[in-house]
């Protein structure tokens, strides 16, 4: 069991204007791990995908609540949980396949592919009619530099 | 988030700026689509030099424009991508649909 060194949690309405707020908040929390610009960017992108999924899929563009929490673990890892109480995913395995999308049109179907590529681990739990939770972790490289 | 349009001959260039996500993509694609409809270019350039963040909504935007351009046979170029944007583009295999150029990292 990893020790939790710090944590936060928040909930927000599933409005698309909150996408930038959500990723910026998690990124700001993650800065205490002294991540590189690339690592911060990876976290922001993964959070943006997960939150967009809640808005577009879980709540089908209706209003519901999105619950976001994050923990800093003692091995320099950030663990992020993004949860909704929306419609749930019928087939999680299929939903995680690249280019699979139920809405078509302007959605690329790459949300999970981005999360899996940019984070170290992504776990999805979903129950139809109850909601979905996504837990992602990323270990932040420790930077030791003679130049400070 | 905005898209500034420049038309030179048969080339339409859209200079995108700000953060490109699901929330901002709609307005941006409407601006691009109306410029393409009006000018019928042979080449559409999407310039990402001033885009500070992009998630897979940006891929949706690029793929959607590619599909529209297929109707007239026009080409698509993506320019000015930052390392992060380039990474998302590569993950989606965008280089198979459009010429993909990195931005100047010293900008």
pLDDT tens figures, B42-77:
999 999 999 999 999 999 999 999 999 999 999 999
Task: Work out the number of other CB atoms within 10 angstroms of the CB of residue B72.
Answer: 11
Q: Which residues of A are catalytic?
A: 49, 53, 107
Burial A10-33 (b: 16+ CB within 10 A, else e): eebebebebbbebbebbbebbeeb
Share of chain B above pLDDT 70, in %: 97
Residue B103 belongs to some domain of the structure:
no
Considering only CB atoms, which chain A residues are within 8 Å of B64?
A: 105-106
Residue A12 has pLDDT above 80, yes or no: yes
Residue A16: C-alpha distances to residues A11, A20, B26 (Å): 14, 8, 11
Band (A148; pLDDT cuts 50, 70, 90): very low
Range of the domain at B47: 6-92
Band (A142; pLDDT cuts 50, 70, 90): confident
A61 to chain B, any CB pair closer than 8 A? The answer is no
Task: Work out the number of other CB atoms within 10 angstroms of the CB of residue A136.
Answer: 25
Residue B18 belongs to some domain of the structure:
yes
CATH number (domain holding residue B14): 3.30.750.24
Residue B104 belongs to some domain of the structure:
no
Asked if B19's CB is within 8 angstroms of A106's CB, the reply is: no
Structural domain count, chain B = 1
Identify the pLDDT of residue B21. 97
- Indicate the domain borders of chain A: 4-139
Residue B84 belongs to some domain of the structure:
yes
Q: What is the DSSP letter of B12?
A: E
Identify the pLDDT of residue A30. 98
- Structure confidence by residue, pLDDT tens digits, A48-96: 999 999 999 999 989 999 999 999 999 999 999 999 999 999 999 999 8
Residue B78 belongs to some domain of the structure:
yes
Identify the pLDDT of residue A102. 81
Helices vs. strands in chain B: H and E counts, helices first:
3, 5
**Which member of A45, A56, A106 has the closest CB to residue B88?**
A45
CATH topology classification for A4-139: Heat Shock Protein 90 (3.30.565)
């Amino acid at each position: 069991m990893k020790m939790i060194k710090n944590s936060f949690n928040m909930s927000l309405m599933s409005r698309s204007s909150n996408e930038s707020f959500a990723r910026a908040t998690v990124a700001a929390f993650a800065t205490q791990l002294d991540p590189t610009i690339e690592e911060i960017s990876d976290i922001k992108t993964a959070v943006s995908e997960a939150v967009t999924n809640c808005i577009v899929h879980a709540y089908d563009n209706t209003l519901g609540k999105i619950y976001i929490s994050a923990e800093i673990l003692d091995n320099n890892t950030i663990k992020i949980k993004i949860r909704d109480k929306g419609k749930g995913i019928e087939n999680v395995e299929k939903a995680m396949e690249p280019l699979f999308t139920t809405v078509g049109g302007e959605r690329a179907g790459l949300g999970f592919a981005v999360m899996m590529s940019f984070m170290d681990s992504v776990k999805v739990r979903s129950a139809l009619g109850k909601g979905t939770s996504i837990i992602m972790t990323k270990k932040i490289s420790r930077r030791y530099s003679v130049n400070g | 988030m905005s898209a500034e349009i420049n038309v030179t001959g048969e080339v339409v260039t859209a200079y995108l700026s700000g953060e490109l996500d699901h929330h901002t993509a709609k307005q941006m694609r409407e601006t691009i689509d109306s410029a393409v409809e009006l000018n019928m270019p042979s080449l559409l350039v999407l310039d990402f030099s001033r885009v500070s963040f992009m998630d897979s909504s940006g891929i949706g935007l690029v793929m959607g424009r590619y599909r529209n351009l297929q109707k007239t046979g026009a080409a698509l170029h993506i320019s000015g991508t930052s390392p992060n944007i380039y990474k998302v583009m590569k993950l989606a295999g965008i280089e198979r649909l459009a010429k993909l150029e990195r931005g100047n990292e010293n900008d």
